[in-house]
Structure 1
Amino acid sequence: MSVLPLVFTSGWASGINAYAVVLLLGLLGATGVTDEVPDALQRPDVLIAAAVLFLFEAVADKVPYVDSVWDAVHTVVRPVAGGVVAALLAGHDGSLPQVAAGAVGGSTALLSHLVKAGARIAVNTSPEPASNIVVSVVEDLGVAGLIAFAVFHPVAAAVIAGTLLLAGLALVILLWSRIRRALRRRRERREEKRLRAAAEADPVPR
């Protein structure tokens, strides 16, 4: 069976939470649930590092505005992780199929990351923190559930991942005006802080 559906699903999930993908795939492989997971993802040091980083993300991802900063930092990390995981799943070191799989995984991860980051900016316009926690928990459960499902039903999981990706892109487009207003307010607050800091540093008019 082609590994492409699993590659696509893992790419989508990596754009949401790359550490959860590495941790879950590694555990599924290490416990013998599936033989589709390469040895590199099952190494103890990889699993420990993924677990620690997943815990950091689990906290940062639920705090308003901290989640957006975390997303900004991971604009490179998640696509790279998606590409690496996809390439490892494809196997055949240096082959054209492995390169293609890495490209599919990385580009899919980038798209889903942009959807996640855009949606979080819109969520952060809400004055209460509960929405961030709910959205984060739903994302984590969705990633875990779909990766586990993909191991046994890769094609069906890829269809679900593709549907979620398209729905997410449509949602971000619909919310773009709200996202743009939030970004404008954030820039205005930064400018106000800069001017206030400058005034405090030089309080005597010249």
Structure 2
Amino acid sequence: MDSYQHLVDTLALTLGVGWASGINLYAALLVLGIAGSTGDLALPPDLQVLANPLVIGAAGLMYAVEFFADKTPGVDSGWDALHTFIRLPAGALLAAGAVGEVTPALEIAAGLLGGGLAATSHATKAGTRLLINTSPEPFSNWTASIAEDVAVFGGMWAALNQPWLFIGLLALFIALVAWLLPKILRALRKIGGGILRLFGRRPKPAPAAITTPGEPPS
């Protein structure tokens, strides 16, 4: 029974760090680091460095920067674009480290799973933010950002304390993304096409008529 529970706990942690990294990597690092340093969570060997005060401090500083950048229209999408190259590999590395001391094949499989979840949650967040930024008011950005922060902290708590609840909620999230992401991509394509038409259909000046001496202009 203990080995079965350990397997479920490890699976939830692996999925949780991958999913959370795609939305707010620094919040996920803070949760793991603080939980590990206080003894609430026995971090796997490869993740024990997250409990170091220097790592916690750096994660806290970057979370504070992201907290404000993520709530500024336009800046949030630029921040997401930059973090495409950070969240995805970080999600893969955290997931690979979360499985503990296992065979290299299982570690690679966990990394691929974590990276895939990070890419899925990141693409959903970034695409949604691009749509939100078509509205000039900032309140929708604030609402979305706060909701994402709450989701990450709540999701990480569930992954550590209620693994079956987290796995169930993650399954619902994946089903929602499978339904929502194509709609987001179509909406973005439509907006992009409208912008291209707006700037691409300017009337061209008519060519000047050529006349010969003594011939009235046409």
1:57-93 Cα deviation digits (max 9, x unpaired): 1111111111111111111211111111112211227
2:65 corresponds to 1:56: yes
Q: Letter of the 1:20 partner, please give it.
A: A
CA separation of 1:91 and 1:130: change in aligned 2, threshold 3 A: same
User: What is the rounded CA distance, in whole Å, between the counterparts of 2:94 and 2:194 in structure 1?
Assistant: 37
Mark the runs of 5 or more structure 2 residues left unpaired by the alignment: 1-5, 201-218
Q: Secondary structure, in 3 states, of the residue corresponding to 1:32?
A: coil
User: What is the rounded CA distance, in whole Å, between the counterparts of 2:156 and 2:63 in structure 1?
Assistant: 15
Aligned-residue offset at 1:21: 0.3
- Give the match for residue 128 of structure 2: 119
Aligned-residue offset at 1:185: 6.0
Q: Letter of the 1:17 partner, please give it.
A: N
Instruction: Pick one of 24, 31, 45 that aligns with 1:24.
Output: 31
Instruction: Pick one of 124, 138, 161 that aligns with 2:170.
Output: 161
Aligned-residue offset at 1:48: 1.2
1:3-22 Cα deviation digits (max 9, x unpaired): 12221122111110011101
Contact 2:12 2:160 in 1 (8 A): no
Q: Letter of the 2:177 partner, please give it.
A: G
Aligned-residue offset at 1:148: 0.9
User: What is the rounded CA distance, in whole Å, between the counterparts of 1:147 and 1:155 in structure 2?
Assistant: 12
Mark the runs of 5 or more structure 1 residues left unpaired by the alignment: 192-206
Q: Letter of the 2:87 partner, please give it.
A: R
Aligned-residue offset at 1:98: 1.8
TM-score normalized with structure 1 length? 0.84
Give the aligned CA root-mean-square deviation in angstroms.
Answer: 2.2
Instruction: Pick one of 8, 17, 24 that aligns with 2:15.
Output: 8
Identity of aligned residues (%): 37
1:145-195 Cα deviation digits (max 9, x unpaired): 11011101223202212312331342232233332244456678999xxxx
User: What is the rounded CA distance, in whole Å, between the counterparts of 2:15 and 2:126 in structure 1?
Assistant: 19
Equivalent pairs, count: 191
CA separation of 1:177 and 1:96: change in aligned 2, threshold 3 A: closer
| Greater radius of gyration (CA) | 2
1:94-120 Cα deviation digits (max 9, x unpaired): 722222211111111011101111111
Q: Secondary structure, in 3 states, of the residue corresponding to 2:27?
A: helix
Q: Secondary structure, in 3 states, of the residue corresponding to 1:64?
A: coil
Contact 1:64 1:132 in 2 (8 A): yes
- Give the match for residue 151 of structure 1: 160
